Amino acid sequence: MDKVYVQGMRFYGYHGAFAEENKLGQRFFADVTLELDAEKPGRTDDLDDTVNYAEVYEAVKEVLEGEPVKLVETLTHRVAQQVLKKFAIVDAVSVKVTKPDPPIPGHYDAVAVEIRRERGFETS
């Protein structure tokens, strides 16, 4: 399977288990790997035959800047669900959501959750 990478997307959201996170918000980063058959767009050089990276960004933004949730796991799940719903050409998606500087005891650069989901998952 061919892969398209959309990496280093940055957003500001109000997600977290603590009230302060929901009130103040924080940065979130996302990396998405789309598994698809890129043979046709490779031949046609036509954007209509593949995924538009700007539309992928908007789909991820909708989740990460949208309705607050408590867990990074939930955000990651919802991004995968959103991508598979919006892009019929995508057979599977890997999503990594990173929360830099989490407000937890100790010193952490970041926490992240990465998942991979295949077509059919978006309806579950």
Q: Catalytic residue positions?
A: 99
The number of angstroms, rounded, from the C-alpha of 33 to the middle of its chain's C-alpha atoms is 9
Task: Report the C-alpha gap between 94 and 79 in whole angstroms.
Answer: 10
In 1-124, at which residue ranges do the beta strands (DSSP E only) sit?
2-13, 26-36, 92-100, 110-118
* Secondary structure (3-state) at 89: coil
Q: Of 6, 3, 4, 23, nearest to 15 (Cα)? A: 23
